[in-house]
């Protein structure tokens, strides 16, 4: 897993934790849609990067020559 992906996954976990804390504190005063929208956007970005890394790994593996 790339360092960039690790950082993004850590940021997502931090964001979810912070959003939950804010929701517990302020409740309906916050926009839940905005909070979850930002989480989903980051989740999609992480998923795309994982797919790109997996595709790259598969391409690299095809370069291996078995004897």
pLDDT tens digits for range 11-62: 999 999 999 999 888 887 888 788 899 999 999 999 999 998 888 766 655 5
Which DSSP symbol is given to 49? H
Q: What is the DSSP letter of 50?
A: H
Furthest-apart CA atoms within the chain: distance in Å: 65
pLDDT score recorded for residue 31: 81
For the cut 80, the answer to whether the pLDDT of residue 65 exceeds it is no
pLDDT at 44: 97
């Amino acid at each position: 897993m790339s360092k960039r992906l690790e950082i993004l996954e850590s940021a997502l976990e931090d964001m979810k934790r912070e959003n939950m804390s804010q929701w517990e504190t302020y409740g309906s005063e916050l926009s839940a849609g905005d909070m979850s929208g930002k989480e989903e956007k980051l989740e999609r970005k992480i998923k795309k990067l994982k797919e790109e890394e997996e595709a790259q790994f598969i391409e690299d593996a095809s370069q291996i020559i078995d004897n």
